[in-house]
Amino acid sequence: MSGFGSVYLGTRLSVLASRLISIEQLIGFIQLDLERIFSQVQQLTDRDYEFEDSNPDRIGGQLTNRALDDFQVLIRPFSGGERRFFNFAIRWFELANLKVLIRGKFNGIESRAIEEQLIDLRSFSDLPVRRLLDTDDPYEMLRLLETTAYGGIVRHARRMYEEHGNDLFLLDATIDRSFFIDLYQRTRFLRSADASHVGQVLGGLLDRFNLLWLLRYRFTYELSAAKSFYLLTKTGNRLHSADLMRLARMDSVEDVVAALPEPYRQLLANVKDVSDMETVMEYHSLGLAAQALHRRPNLLSRSFAYILLREAEVRYLQALIKGKWLGFDNDLIGQAIGAGA
């Protein structure tokens, strides 16, 4: 990247970072009505939204589209392996569509209702959405998906789904696992300094998902230690292969937490529910991303961190807006964005 490109990107990142909505601000929105939430969002982000639309899924689509517009600008100065890494990282949004399609078909939801939940990813989309919606049953959809760019991911997910009682959580988790394995592999095509900085941000994510998957596989689905370990992804910052194998042999959630390395043992010491642990770990991984965005000099890791933080912001806002639109009470909405953890 040229010197001019670096200066441009650094300036752009600083502007975008200043517009992010923090977790604390999002939690504060819970007490507001929709009109005031919309006003606050526009004021904090300096972006225009058409919030008079009565469909929360369309409002959520607007939030995603603004994020994609910013990502498009952000990754423009990159090329080669760097550009391919970011294009794949942004597929995290399309995985949400993939899950909506599969869940919808398996639950017998009409195509029109499924389509309303999908995000229009425009040039970032690889899925043949129309053809997938027109399939007659979920297995025809899976066969078609296996011919797409997500073929490897879907094959693994389908095998897991069929082997373990047709459970959609396991299907979702396998999709995420395959995504992270592929994303990690793409860091190998980055320059060593960039890969090291990006790896610190990605490592926080991998720790988060590996720990929560391990807890659910072992104690919710009662899989064996070996099977649970096999279903985890690449190792992260603090939880390495030996640690994960040792934790998988534990007999209870409490034993796992007590055996964790710091800072995870202290973070989870007083958290009893696995869902709350998931929230605590997500906030921690987002905190690592925020540190990279605001404190690290490396532009690649800062850009990656911004994508992760913006994805979380969009997801939390979508949950908040939909909960308010459906008339849910504030405690339930708070649970959706982890306010009680």
pLDDT (average), residues 148-177: 80
Lookup: tokens for 106: 């398996």
**Could you report the per-residue pLDDT of 99-116, keeping only the tens digit for each?**
889 889 888 899 999 988
Q: Residue 2 pLDDT more than 60?
A: no
Q: Is the dihedral of CA 70, 98, 127, 163 positive or negative?
A: positive
Q: Which CATH architecture has domain 92-189?
A: Up-down Bundle (1.20)
Domain ranges of the chain: 1-89+301-341, 92-189, 192-296
Query: Is the pLDDT at 53 greater than 90, yes or no?
Result: no
Q: What is the pLDDT of residue 21?
A: 94
With 90 as the cut, is the pLDDT of residue 51 above it? no
Give the whole-angstrom CA distance, residue 155 versus residue 146. Answer: 6
Q: What percentage of residues in the chain have a pLDDT greater than 70?
A: 95
Query: Is the pLDDT at 288 greater than 80, yes or no?
Result: yes
Using pLDDT thresholds of 50, 70 and 90, give the confidence band for residue 91: confident
Query: For residue 5, what pLDDT band results from cuts at 50, 70 and 90?
Result: low
Note the pTM of the prediction, 2 decimals: 0.90
Using the predicted structure, report yes or no on whether residue 165 has a pLDDT greater than 70: no
DSSP 54: S
pLDDT of residue 172: 83
pLDDT surpasses 60 at 1: no
For residue 178, what are the CA distances in angstroms to 173, 174, 203? 9, 6, 15
In the predicted model, what is the mean pLDDT of residues 309-325? 91
The CATH number of 1-89+301-341 is which of 1.10.132, 1.10.3470, 3.10.129, 1.10.10? 1.10.132
How far is residue 138's CA from residue 159's CA, in Å, rounded to a whole number?
A: 14
pLDDT of residue 285: 94
First to last CA, the chain: 42
What 333-338 contacts at long range (C-beta under 8 Å, 24+ apart), as own/partner pairs, is 333/30, 334/27, 334/30, 337/26, 337/27, 337/30, 338/276, 338/279, 338/280, 338/282, 338/283
165 — alpha (psi -120 to 50), left (phi > 0) or beta? Answer: left
pLDDT for 265: 97
Other C-beta atoms closer than 10 Å to the C-beta of 222 total 8
Q: Is the pLDDT of residue 4 over 60?
A: no
Please determine, for residue 3, whether its predicted confidence score (pLDDT) is greater than 60.
no
List pLDDT tens digits, range 229-252.
988 998 999 999 999 999 999 999
Residue pointed to by tokens 């997910």: 157
- In this predicted structure, the answer to whether residue 308 has a pLDDT above a threshold of 90 is yes
Give percent of the chain with pLDDT exceeding 90: 50
Number of Cβ within a 10 Å radius of residue 279: 18
Q: Which of the 8 DSSP states describes residue 82?
A: H
What does the alpha-carbon distance between residue 307 and residue 60 come to, in Å, rounded to a whole number? 17
Angle between helices 241-248 and 192-215 (to 10 degrees): 0
> Are 218 and 228 spatial neighbours (Cβ–Cβ below 8 Å)?
yes
> Given pLDDT bands bounded at 50, 70 and 90, which one contains residue 205?
very high
pLDDT at 313: 94
Answer yes or no: is pLDDT of 340 > 70. no
Task: Give me the mean pLDDT over the 171-181 stretch.
Answer: 87
Q: Write out the two tokens for 305.
A: 């961190």
- Cα–chain-centroid distance for residue 282? 9
Task: Give the pLDDT confidence of 61-79 residue by residue, as tens digits.
Answer: 888 888 999 999 899 889 9
- Residue 213 is predicted with a pLDDT of 93
Average per-residue pLDDT for the chain: 88
